[in-house]
Each structure stands twice: as structure tokens, then as C-alpha cells.
Amino acid sequence: MAISVLIAASVIDPGLYFAINSPAGATGLDPTTAAEFVNGLGFAITPADLTAAAQAVEEETLISRTGGAPTLAFGISTVFTSAFGGGLAAFWYHFAIMFEALFILTAVDAGTRVGRFMLQDTIGNFWPKYGDLAWKPASWSASAIVVGLWGYMLYVGVTDPLGGINQLFPLFGISNQLLAAIALTLCVTLLIKHGKAKWAWVPGVGLAWDLIVTMTAGYQKVFSDDPKLGYFTQRSTYQDAIDRGELLAPATDLDQMEKVVFNSTVNGSLQALFAVLVIVVVLNAFYIWARALRAGGLPTTEVPKQESRLVAPSDFFATAKEKEAVREWEAARGGELTGTGDRR
């Protein structure tokens, strides 16, 4: 997914790229003003170019379509149209949009379910009834709370004066990769607990790379001195401007200035919280790894392996001697004998 995004972004004309991803306050949502803004950045593009790009993919406009989805879709359509021809740019554009929508929906669906389970489990420590997954009032209310939380973040992102991509994309990207770090930590832990530490390097390499890259990016997004990068510096810059009675582009009034301050504070705090929680998980895993290595393995709570009952093991052997050996193996384990070794 990441490679596809990078390829898509690299094949789009830079002028069009910035017209798509700049906030409405900068482009004015008009081809003429958008072209003037992009030309001011040092990239050449005309209003006719912006209009033609939108018409090619059968969209009313591509100006200030922030959030990442239109950028990826337009880039993918450019690549596929060049590769296959046929004037199908609009088809490939909307094909990519559909793909992205399905990706986002499945991610949101899984996140909502996990969030609901975690919320019920957490509250269940103080109110045991709430932790009962079969109790509908708890399940419904927990689901509503989780949906309300991510719905709020979506609303805040799309209404942010700096553009939804500035608020939502870093938050989603870093949280997604931190989730991958937790999954890889679990893989390493299971291998070591099962006494297979010699193979722990396989997920361990990915875990180390994931943590280094994501934690570095997270630190920069939270604490960078560049107001265009660091959330807390961005907050301080806009708050200082409010105190001086000034407006900073692209905000056009005091309300938008305050939105930037509030959103930057929330996003910076959330990213810092996510990082701390993952660090706690990894440090606890180090402790478990040390115990398991000293003991040569530790018991796990995994469900014991169950042999398949769909096909009899004897079906995979041809000779009478092989079938007889398998039947004896089944009998020793309480399995149902087939009599002939054929399918049950």
C-alpha cells in the first residue's frame, strides 16, 4: 500500500499535486485562484490544466481534494492508463477510489470491534456485568462510544482549516504502524515462549525496523520545532498569533485559528499516548522474553492444536501397510476407524 502511494504521488505533475492537496483557504476552490497559488509555490500550472485533469477522470473538480484518496486514485489512473491505454482514466480513477474505500472500511470495522471489546473489558474490571459480551446494552453502548470517537476525529479532520490530510493522515498512519509493531511483538513472544527462540529474528527484524521508523516519525510529529511538522509547535505558533490578534494562513477568522490550536493539541496528545502505550507493551514483552529464555520456554494460553476431521489421515496413503499404520495411529488416539482407509 505504501509503495503504491509513493508511486502514485511521484507520477502526478507537481503543480497538480499541490492543487489537489492544498487546503481550500489557499486555493479558493477555483481553477484561477488555485493556479495562482500553485504558481506562487514555484510550480507551473494553468486553470485549463486543472479543469482538464478533473474532466479526464469525470470529476467536477480536483482542487483541494485533500485526504490522500484522490491523489492516490489519480496517480493510479495515470499509471494504468499509460500502461493499458484505451482512454479509461475515469474507470481506473474510480476503481482506485473503490479500493481505498474498502480498505478504509475494513480498517474502521476491525478497529471499531477491537475498540468495543477493549472498552467493555476495561470497564468490566470495575463493573463485571459490562464486560459480558453477550449483554446487549453493554455491547450497544460501547459500540456507540467507539463509533462516536472515530466519527468525531473524522469530522475534526475534514473541517480543519489546514486540510484533513494534515490532521488525519499522520494520525492514521502512525497508529496503523504501531498496531503492526504490537502484532510483531506478539509473534516474537510466542516463538520464544514455545522454545523456538532461534526463529524469533524473523519477526524481530521487522519489529525493530517498524519501531525505529514509526517512533522517529511520531516523535517528529509531536515535538518537532517546525510548525509545519510538529503538532505542539504548530499549536504554540497559532496560539501566539491569536494572542497578538493576528491571522495565519490559511485561517480566515479567529474561529479557524482556534480550531487549529485545538486540533493540533488533540492530535499531538493522542500520538504521544499511542507511542507510550506501545512502549509499555514492548518493555513488558522484553521481560517475558527474558523469563522464557531462562526457563527454555513458557506455557501459553493458545488453544491446543486440533487435527482436521474433514479428511481422514489415511486418505493420503496408498499402500495397505501405510493405511494399516494410520488406522492404528487413529485407534490409539480414539479416532474413528474407517475399516478400509477410504474417506469416511
The string of pLDDT tens digits covering residues 293-330 is 988 888 777 777 777 666 655 555 556 676 677 777 76
- Cα diameter, the chain: 92
Share of the chain above pLDDT 90, in %: 48
Side chain identity at residue 37, one-letter code: F
The string of pLDDT tens digits covering residues 25-62 is 888 889 999 999 999 999 989 999 999 999 999 999 99
Q: Looking at per-residue confidence, does 211 or 299 come out higher? A: 211
Q: DSSP for 224-283? A: -S-TTT-HHHHHHHHHHHHHHT---TT--SHHHHHHHHHHHHHHHHHHHHHHHHHHHHHH
The string of pLDDT tens digits covering residues 1-20 is 778 888 888 899 999 999 99
Q: Is 321 exposed, middle or buried (0-12, 13-18, 19+ CB in 10 A)?
A: exposed
Q: What are phi and psi of 16, to 5 degrees?
A: -70, -40
What stretches of 125-230 show up as alpha helix (H) in DSSP? 136-158, 164-193, 201-223
Q: Assess contact for 210 and 184: CB atoms under 8 A.
A: yes
Q: DSSP for 228-243? A: TT-HHHHHHHHHHHHH
Instruction: For residues 184-192, give the mean pLDDT.
Output: 94
**Residue 175, all three cell numbers:** 497508529
Whole-prediction pTM value? Answer: 0.66
Residue 188's Cα: distance from chain center in Å? 21
